[in-house]
Amino acid sequence: MAETVAEPFLKGNTGRNTRGILRLSILVLIAAAAIASRLFSVILDPWFNFRATKYLVSNGFYDFWDWFDDRTWHPLGRVTGGTLYPGLMVTSGAIYHALRALTIPVDIRNICVLLAPAFSGLTAFATYLFTNEMTTSPSAGLLAAAFMGIAPGYISRSVAGSYDNEAIAIFLLVFTFYLWIKAVKLGSVMWGALCALFYGYMVSAWGGYVFITNLIPLHVFVLVCMGRYSPRLYVSYCTWYALGTLASMQIPFVGFLPIRSSEHMSALGVFGLLQLVGFVEFVRSGVPSKQFGTLLRGLVLLVFGLSLGGLVLLTVSGVIAPWTGRFYSLWDTSYAKIHIPIIASVSEHQPTAWPAYFFDLNLLIWLFPAGVYLCFQKLADEQVFVVVYSILASYFSGVMVRLMLTLTPIVCVAAAMAVSSLLDTYLSLKSPDPADSAIEAGSNGTPAPSKKAAKQDGLRSMRQPLVGIYSTFSKMSVVSALTAYLLIFVLHCTWVTSNAYSSPSVVLASRMPDGSQHIIDDYREAYQWLRQNTAEDAKIMSWWDYGYQIGGMADRPTLVDNNTWNNTHIATVGKAMSSREEVSYPIMRQHEVDYVLVVFGGLLGYSGDDINKFLWMVRIAEGIWPDEVKERDFFTDRGEYRVDEGATETMKNSLMYKMSYYNYCTLFPPGQCQDRVRGVKLPDVGPTLNTVEEAFTSENWIIRIFKVKDLDNAGRDLASAASFDRGNKKKKTIKKRGPKVLRVE
């Protein structure tokens, strides 16, 4: 009845328009949901990118390219233009100028904050396009877009204010893959060139472009091995490789890496292989098959020998960079722990725990294999891509938590294919009529039954089976169960987003006894203090985690920051923190340090503080100075890491320990001094500091800033000067009084 009314809108030309409008509005709604679910709380992070964007907007592109930043990595400075991926900043700069041209004066900060959500809307759209290339079901694309829009695995890196390279890179990743599939399908130079263009954009935006650089050749390689070489493949790959490599070499940070580094060699190798295969195919068409066999064998041996010899020669002579440690750590998860503590110290470089998959992907993770399985049902070139992508991304996501991000798109696509095939099967109102379905299956039935038919074509009698769902009850139960799962998925995503991924590290929120929100804003308090009340060029030494924040929020030069690759420089800071004051002071003087910033969570019970990170500093410093800093010395004889009375002498004398607990016990009545993170009682007499003095402590003691003392005026060393200041009176009074004498009269 309702159908008859709606019929004119669902059929023919009007029907197509109606569906188009419906699809468009659904996509717009998905994009809106994707953006809205990312707005739980807004804090700009990381600040370096924001700072760079501001620089770009105010100084123009060419100055940005040549930007030498003397406020980071002091005293080395950073050739910023040549050491970053400019895609993110250029994107927001372009948006900024476009809006300006339309006389919409939006603050660059707002653009930076909202860039990630906006691009997540685009990602949902790109996922829709990508999925549509994979399956004929029209609903799969929409489902994939919806999954992509709200999957926590992607939200984790794209909430409002998370202004990192990943913000735009995931969109570019998915869109490049879409263009690649399009190019392979059509064998079109245009799509190949577009793919290369977006690949170039991706290279400019994120170091994860290497994933594309390896995945596309792998796809091609697998296709060639499967005997699916075709001119389409040749045209699209060669177009992409030639243009894409040239485009990627335009980024100064990448430069000649695409032809030198081993990470890019697979693309080059596959490019060569394709030429050979193309040549062989050409020869095959002109030579009788008997001679062709001999020719092929000889050719294969020759080429293999030549290329292997060439590769070995080039690697030995150093033209091609050998495998980097970062690369090894992808294959051997314990490699980093042993050889590169700096990589292992980052939490997002840890191997992924199993629950993380469920946490980040929820029901998608068990639909994912089903979707991949469905790809095998109709294994065209593009389905091979899904399979290859799934295998590769699944492996890498297990190696590093961070790479969960590259897995998410394909999980969404595969899961959407599984769900849509289920829904398509169970949601059709018509019960299959035996006679009807025989015709349908013969010609073009709904995809699901025909797939099932194709699967079971072992038996002749089953070749055209009457497969379909007959009873309304089974339809209802499956559909309602699926709906419930999807609803739970939405709930889960909202919960994860609001609880896990929207708590910016800079601000801690807690609840007061009366239920009102209390915000602990110590980081910004301290950064603002630094910014307003210290000299413009005062150098701040802190552990590298806070480098970007100090550079951005406090606008002060730092020694090391989140992007410092110079391991020795980081180790220097680690050594200064973990050594005795007499050792640290010359280091700090040499690096012109004015203030030292430490994070201390003892009062509040904030566990991400420097004492808990301290062992990494020790380890990294030990990597460079194994004789001077020893991790063993920070553990007690029984192998415990203690900060209380029983802490080792090395621990108690380290600058970090002293700064963290300096003056802390005066807050408590005697005997009740407690560290609430480690849950231990501290000795009543706190450490004394000679070479630095307390300059500022934030309200909840999370940030403590110490000023490095200048050299003593009287030429004494600071320790004796300080002890003179402290002990002055005491010594005198003792001297005056003299030893006590017992009166005997």
Partner 1 sequence: MRPLAIASAVLSFASAAVCVEKGNLTKPLTSKLILPSTFKPAQNFRNANLVHTINLEKSYPKESINVVIENVASTPQDDDTQFYRIHLPTPLAPKAQQTLGISFYYLSALNPLPAAIAQADKQYLVYTFSAYWQSSYDTLKQKTEVKFPSTTVPEYTIVPGSKGSPESPQKQGSKFTYGSYGEVPAGAVEPVKVRYEFTKPLIHVSELERDIEVSHWGGNIAFEERYIMTNRAANLSKQFSRVEWASQTYYNPPSTAVRELRFPLRVGSLEPYFTDVIGNVSTSRFRSNRREANLEIKPRYPVFGGWNYPFRVGWNADLKKYLRKLSGGEGYVLNVPFLEGPKQPEGIEYEHIELRVILPEGAENVQYSTTVPLVSASTSLHRTFMDTTGRTALTLTAINIVDDLRDRELIVTYDYPLLAGFRKPLVMFVTFLSLFAAAWGIGSLDVKIKSRRS
- Of 105 and 318, which has the nearer Cβ to partner 1? 105
Q: What angle do CA 66, 67, 72 make, to 5 degrees?
A: 145
Sole binder of partner 1 in the list 222, 592, 696, 723 (CB under 8 A): 696
> Does the protein bind partner 1 through residue 707 (CB under 8 A)?
yes
Using CB under 8 A, which of the segments 9-17, 87-95, 527-535, 578-586 binds partner 1? 527-535
What would you measure as the largest C-alpha separation in the chain, in angstroms? 132
Smallest separation (angstroms) from partner 1 to the CB of 54: 11
Residues 636-675: x where in contact with partner 1 by CB under 8 A, - otherwise, as a string = ---------------------------x--xx--------
> Which residue of 5, 519, 742, 744 would you call a contact of partner 1, by CB under 8 A?
519
Give min distance, CB of 13 to partner 1, in A: 16
Look up residue 650 and give its two tokens. Answer: 């090395």
- Would you count residue 524 as binding partner 1 (CB under 8 A)? yes
**Residue number, 451 or 707, with CB nearest to partner 1:** 707
Q: From the CB of 706, what's the least distance to partner 1, in Å?
A: 9
Q: Which of 61, 221, 366, 529 binds partner 1 (CB under 8 A)?
A: 529
Residue 6, token pair as written in the block: 């709606």
Terminal C-alpha separation, the chain: 124
The reply on whether position 698 binds partner 1 by CB under 8 A is yes
- The smaller minimum CB distance to partner 1, of residues 134 and 673, is found at 673
User: Is residue 461 within 8 Å of residue 490, measured between CB atoms?
Assistant: no
Q: Tell me whether residue 220 or residue 526 sits nearer to partner 1 (CB atom).
A: 526
| Rounded Cα gap, residues 737 and 745, in angstroms | 20
- How many other C-beta atoms lie within 10 A of the C-beta of residue 571? 22
Least Å distance, CB 498 to partner 1, is 18
Q: Which stretch binds partner 1 (CB under 8 A): 66-74, 169-177, 477-485, 698-706?
A: 698-706
Taking the C-alpha atoms of residue 350 and residue 344, their distance in angstroms, rounded to an integer, is 7
Stretch that binds partner 1, among 62-70, 97-105, 337-345, 583-591 (CB under 8 A): 97-105
**Residue 275 near partner 1 by CB under 8 A:** no
Residue 482 · residue 488 · CB < 8 Å: no
Helices (H) and strands (E) in the chain, counts: 33, 10
Check: CB of residue 532 under 8 Å from CB of residue 522.
no
Q: Which of 395, 424, 46 minimizes the C-alpha distance to 215?
A: 395
Residue 102 binds partner 1, judged by CB under 8 A:
yes
Question: Which residues inside 306-335 make contact with partner 1, applying CB under 8 A?
Answer: none
- Supply the DSSP symbol for 712: P
Give residues 543-562 in contact with partner 1 (rule: CB under 8 A): 553
Q: Which two tokens stand for residue 437?
A: 């379905």
Q: Judged by CB under 8 A, does residue 693 bind partner 1?
A: yes
In terms of residues, how long is the chain?
A: 745
Out of 505, 528, 672, 728, the residue judged to bind partner 1 by CB under 8 A: 528
Quote the least distance from Cβ 105 to partner 1, whole Å.
Answer: 5
Identify any residues that bridge with 379 across adjacent strands, giving them in sequence order: none
Which of 713-719's residues contact partners 24+ apart within 8 Å by CB, and which partners? 717/582, 718/585, 718/690, 718/691, 719/581, 719/582, 719/690, 719/691
CA-closest candidate to residue 263, choices 199, 224, 203, 321: 321
Please tell me whether residue 507 binds partner 1 under the rule CB under 8 A: yes
State yes or no: cis peptide before 46, omega within 30 of 0.
Answer: yes
Helices 364-377/447-455 angle, 10° precision: 70
Q: Does residue 720 bind partner 1 (CB under 8 A)?
A: no
| Least distance to partner 1, CB of residue 137, Å | 28
Tell me: does residue 134 bind partner 1 (CB under 8 A): no
Residue choice 104, 459, 535, 742 for contact with partner 1 (CB under 8 A): 104
Q: Does 541 bind partner 1 (CB under 8 A)?
A: no
Among 451, 475, 531, 642, binds partner 1 (CB under 8 A): 531
Beta strands in 554-649 (DSSP E): 593-599
8 A C-beta contact, residue 652 and residue 685: no
Q: Does 697 bind partner 1 (CB under 8 A)?
A: yes
Closer Cβ to partner 1, 206 or 600, answer by number: 600
Q: Is 188 near partner 1 (CB under 8 A)? A: no
Closer residue to partner 1 in complex, CB, 221/668: 668
Chosen residue from 275, 334, 474, 533 binding partner 1 by CB under 8 A: 533
Residue 307: both structure tokens together:
């290329």
Where would I find the beta strands (DSSP E) of 148-247? none
Instruction: Reduce the DSSP state of residue 381 to 3 states and report it.
Output: helix
Nearest distance from C-beta of residue 696 to partner 1, angstroms: 5
Residue 596: phi, psi to the nearest 5?
Answer: -115, 130
Q: Which of 1, 4, 5, 105 binds partner 1 (CB under 8 A)?
A: 105
Alpha carbon of 576 to those of 178, 625, 707: distances in Å? Answer: 50, 12, 14
x/- map, 5-44, partner 1, by CB under 8 A: --------------------------------------xx
Contact present, 577 and 620 (Cβ < 8 Å):
no
Helix (H) or strand (E) holding 695: strand 692-697
Stretch that binds partner 1, among 178-186, 265-273, 528-536, 645-653 (CB under 8 A): 528-536
Q: Show the tokens assigned to 185.
A: 């399908």
> Does residue 695 belong to the site contacting partner 1 (CB under 8 A)?
yes
| Smallest distance from partner 1 to CB 100, Å | 10
Q: Rule CB under 8 A: which residues touch partner 1?
A: 43-44, 102-105, 507, 519, 521, 524-525, 527-529, 531-533, 553, 663, 666-667, 693-699, 701, 707
